[in-house]
């Protein structure tokens, strides 16, 4: 059975529009509850976290109703980062964890992500089974077996305490001025608290959510706001999280930005030197810069590439027994500490490197010179695959031929938005720009032709 509802990171869409409606959330909750509660017993638990979007109230309530209708007991965590849901699912011995968030997207989008009892995101196979249940008649619990719901008032505090344990024992952040941009999202209280409790002088921004300002001109998708604050405050480092705090961009004291590839290079080298990097291997995606691969090779380390999506990075890490992976976008997964990308804990590892080496952020944030890379997004009509057809295949083939031996071209459809992402890498920047433009122009021409009828 092919999946119709789930994408690369749960179910996504525009709030109050299929599939992000209260009705669908209720049925999705009931289907997930039926998938996990197969024995008729009433001891099953599910934890639900959310970010700060206005639509989270609606979806949280609907999911709770659907889950309770199949006998699941619901523990409501309130606004917490996505990685906190993975952590608390396992810590609280829950059968299922759910995060309501559209990550780095604008407030009008939302999503529902599922975690299994081990704290890792559900597999494609499990999500396919939930879809199959959803499409049929969902068996409800008997009246006496309807689930209960309760709020967990200290959920954020539990995550804060855990996050601090990942920072080296006996070390503090005393003497460091840290700008933390919370993107008006899920970590708007947790992230500043962790940094302050570890001794930093904290300058918080993006910490006043109103339901509609999440990721709006701030956070990891707009790190220039954090960079400006770092320079204005004379800070030692800036940390820009996204709306659900599972990704991070680091800004050094000069206002320069380090993406996920640079962080992965730093951590891989340090961990290898300390004997902590499992099998000398780092896992990342096809989007990671060729410069990262060259850096690892120069240090006798290996890069294992996967398809795009942090869940696929984690799956490959678990299959291979590797403990470090991530994405260029800022998802950093350290299975010694986390079950999914965690922007705050990744930032703490960078801060630990600063404290332990005495080096400035600028000395640590650029491990390699990136190969020039260009990414452009093409927004298409939802439900349409603009890459179908012999004409587009010919355009792509010609573009790939132009880069043969000089670079690489990657074209893929987003799993969370109606976008085609066109990325090229090449030392010859003019050629790279021309190749990307040829594909985008062809996509635009096809869209115009289809609109004309």
**Domain residue limits, the chain:** 11-153, 258-343, 373-452
CA–CA separation, 163 vs 355, rounded Å? 17
* Architecture of the domain whose range is 258-343: 3-Layer(aba) Sandwich (3.40)
**Known catalytic residue: 414?**
no
Q: Which residues contact 232 (CB under 8 A, 6 or more apart)?
A: none
Q: Which DSSP category does 372 fall into?
A: P
> pLDDT by residue for the chain (453 residues), tens digit each?
567 889 878 999 999 999 999 999 999 999 999 999 877 777 899 999 999 999 999 999 999 999 999 999 999 999 999 999 999 999 999 999 999 999 999 999 999 999 999 999 998 899 999 999 999 999 999 999 999 999 999 999 999 999 999 999 999 999 999 999 999 999 999 999 999 999 999 999 999 999 999 999 999 999 999 999 999 999 999 999 999 999 999 999 999 999 999 999 999 999 999 999 999 999 999 999 999 999 999 999 999 999 988 889 999 999 999 999 999 999 999 999 999 999 999 999 999 999 999 999 999 999 999 999 999 999 998 878 899 888 999 999 999 999 988 889 999 888 777 899 999 999 999 999 999 999 999 999 988 888 776
Q: What tokens were used for 408?
A: 């690489």
* pTM, rounded to two decimals: 0.90
Q: How far is CA 17 from CA 14, 22, 66, in A?
A: 5, 9, 18
CA–CA separation, 388 vs 131, rounded Å? 26
- Counted residue by residue, the chain has a size of 453
Q: How far is CA 76 from CA 37, 79, 170, 243, 310, in A?
A: 18, 9, 34, 19, 25
CA–CA separation, 176 vs 184, rounded Å? 23
Residues pairing with 169 in the sheet:
none
Task: Assign domain 11-153 to a CATH class.
Answer: alpha beta
- For the chain, the 3-state helix, strand and coil shares in percent, each to the nearest 5, are 40, 20, 40
CA–CA separation, 377 vs 387, rounded Å? 13
Residue from 372, 137, 329, 136 nearest 242 by CA: 329
Strands (E), 164-308: 177-181, 201-205, 237-241, 248-252, 257-258, 281-285, 302-306
Neighbours of 450 (CB within 10 A): 12
Q: Which residues contact 269 (CB under 8 A, 6 or more apart)?
A: 299, 301, 367
Q: Which residues contact 324 (CB under 8 A, 6 or more apart)?
A: 264, 267, 268, 271, 277, 278, 282, 283, 317, 333, 334, 335
Q: Which of 103, 288, 329, 367 is catalytic?
A: 103
DSSP-H helix ranges across 18-123: 22-36, 55-69, 82-91
CA–CA separation, 367 vs 268, rounded Å? 11
Q: How far is CA 3 from CA 6, 7, 129, in A?
A: 6, 8, 9
Residue from 225, 238, 205, 209 nearest 51 by CA: 209
Residue from 56, 58, 138, 66 nearest 103 by CA: 56
Kindly report whether the peptide bond that precedes residue 19 is cis, defined as omega within 30 degrees of 0: yes
Whether 306 contacts 285, CB under 8 Å: yes
CA–CA separation, 45 vs 107, rounded Å? 29
The CATH superfamily assigned to 373-452 is: Alpha-D-phosphohexomutase, C-terminal domain (3.30.310.50)
Q: What tokens were used for 438?
A: 């040829």
Neighbours of 150 (CB within 10 A): 9
Token pair 């004409």 is found at 391
Q: How far is CA 416 from CA 7, 133, 364, 413, 448, in A?
A: 6, 22, 32, 9, 23
Q: Do 258-343 and 11-153 fall under one CATH topology? A: yes
Rg (the chain; Cα; Å): 22
Q: Which residues contact 275 (CB under 8 A, 6 or more apart)?
A: none
pLDDT of residue 2: 60
């Amino acid at each position: 059975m092919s999946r119709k509802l789930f994408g690369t990171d749960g179910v996504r869409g525009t709030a109050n529009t299929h599939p992000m409606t209260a009705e669908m959330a209720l049925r999705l909750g009931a289907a997930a509850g039926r998938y996990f509660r197969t024995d008729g017993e009433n001891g099953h638990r599910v934890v639900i976290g959310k970010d700060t979007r206005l639509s989270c109230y609606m979806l949280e309530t609907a999911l709770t109703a659907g889950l309770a209708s199949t006998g699941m007991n619901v523990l409501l965590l309130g606004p917490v980062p996505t990685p906190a849901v993975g952590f608390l699912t396992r810590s609280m011995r829950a059968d299922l964890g759910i995060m309501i968030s559209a990550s780095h997207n604008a407030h009008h989008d939302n999503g529902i992500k599922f975690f299994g009892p081990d704290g890792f995101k559900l597999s494609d196979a499990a999500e396919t089974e939930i879809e199959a249940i959803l499409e049929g008649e969902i068996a409800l619990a008997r009246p006496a077996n309807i689930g209960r719901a309760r709020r967990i008032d200290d959920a954020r505090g539990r995550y804060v305490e855990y996050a601090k344990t990942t920072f080296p024992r006996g070390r503090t952040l005393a003497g460091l001025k840290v700008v933390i941009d919370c993107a008006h999202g899920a970590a708007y209280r947790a992230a500043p608290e962790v940094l302050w409790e570890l001794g930093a002088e904290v300058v918080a921004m993006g910490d006043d959510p109103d339901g509609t300002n999440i990721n709006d001109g701030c956070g990891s998708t707009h790190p220039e706001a954090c960079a400006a604050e770092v320079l204005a405050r004379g800070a030692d480092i800036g940390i820009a999280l996204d709306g659900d705090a599972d990704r991070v961009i680091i800004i050094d004291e000069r206002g320069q930005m380090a993406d996920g590839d640079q962080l992965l290079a730093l951590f891989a080298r340090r961990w290898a030197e300390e004997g902590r990097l499992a099998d000398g291997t780092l896992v990342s995606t096809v989007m990671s810069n060729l410069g990262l691969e060259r850096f690892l090779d120069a240090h006798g380390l290996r890069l294992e590439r996967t398809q795009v999506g942090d869940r696929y990075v984690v799956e490959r890490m678990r299959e291979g027994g590797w403990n470090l992976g991530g994405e260029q976008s800022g998802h950093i997964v350290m299975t010694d500490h986390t079950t999914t990308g965690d922007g705050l804990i990744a930032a703490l590892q960078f801060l630990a490197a600063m404290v332990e080496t005495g080096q400035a952020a600028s000395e640590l944030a650029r491990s390699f010179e990136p190969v020039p890379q260009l990414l452009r997004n093409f927004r298409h009509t939802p439900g349409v695959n603009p890459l179908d057809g012999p004409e587009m295949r010919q355009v792509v083939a010609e573009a790939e031929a132009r880069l043969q031996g000089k670079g690489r071209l990657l074209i893929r459809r987003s799993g969370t938005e109606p976008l085609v992402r066109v990325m090229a890498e090449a030392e010859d920047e003019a050629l790279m720009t021309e190749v990307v433009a040829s594909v985008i122009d062809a996509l635009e021409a096809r869209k115009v032709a289809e609109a004309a009828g």
